[in-house]
Amino acid sequence: MKIGIIGGTGGMGKGFAIRWCKKHQVIIGSRDAERAATAANEYSSLAKDAYGNINGTISGKDNLSVAKESDVLVLSIPYENIDTTCSQLLSEVSDQCVVISPIVPITKTDVGFECVAIKDNKAFSHQTVEKHMKDKSKLVSAFHVISEKKLVDPTLSLDYDIFVAGDDKDSVEIVNGLINEIEGLRPIYLGPGALAYLVEMSTPLLLNAMIRNKMKNPGIKLV
């Protein structure tokens, strides 16, 4: 499966690439194709050092090429970039492409991390991305509550639940499968995309708890 990562040169993109390249063709996306290719080479070396041999690949291309080629497209981008990025790319994805949004509407204020959608009465990420989708049912929200620092280091064990929200059963199953491929993660289905805002709000909650209580790379686990 071809997994494209828009914003793939960032920390989360790096983590996804290293974790999924064991089985899949991962394509790092950037506005600068050369930068994407350089990052892809770096990630490939890290993956081979960690796993020995990998059955997949990591390559790098410009964002538009990545969007056109991907079977699954991960939007690892900031909330404020959704409209600019998605308006250019999502009209170019294939009809079968599943789009994953881990985007959080978050800002740092004097009191701590807050949800922009609530604080400033703006749309949540899932709603904003959905406006640009050719087939809204192919949008799945997931990966909002995972430690980036742990994700990028394949030698570190993970023990997190990943909340998933989406409308199309087959698309959700594809995302659940990718979650299960990362050892230590468990997908927890919350319901349709209309409930994705619940997942997005959990990130500032987790970050504030981490900072105030001096916790290191916490996640969420339902027991």
Q: 100 - beta bridge partners? A: 74, 140
pLDDT for the residue numbered 46? 93
Domain that holds residue 134: 2-212
**148 pLDDT more than 90:** no
What is the per-residue pLDDT across 76-121, written as a single tens digit (0 to 9) for each? 999 999 999 999 999 999 999 999 999 999 999 999 999 999 999 9
Give me the torsion for CA of 194, 196, 201, 207, rounded to 10°: 180
How many Cβ atoms from other residues are within 10 Å of residue 111's Cβ? 7
pTM attached to this predicted model: 0.95
Is 122 contained in some domain?
yes
57 domain-assigned: yes
Q: Which residues pair with 26 in a beta bridge?
A: 3, 58
Number of structural domains (the chain) is 1
Task: Taking residues 148-167, report their average pLDDT.
Answer: 91
Distance in angstroms (rounded) separating the CA atoms of residues 184 and 195: 25
Q: Would 197 be classed as within a structural domain?
A: yes
CATH of the domain at 157: 3.40.50.720
> Are 164 and 173 spatial neighbours (Cβ–Cβ below 8 Å)?
no
Is 218 a domain residue? no
Q: Is 114 within the bounds of a domain?
A: yes
The 10s digit of each residue's pLDDT in 18-59 is 999 999 999 999 999 999 999 999 999 999 999 988 899 999
pLDDT at 123 over 90: yes
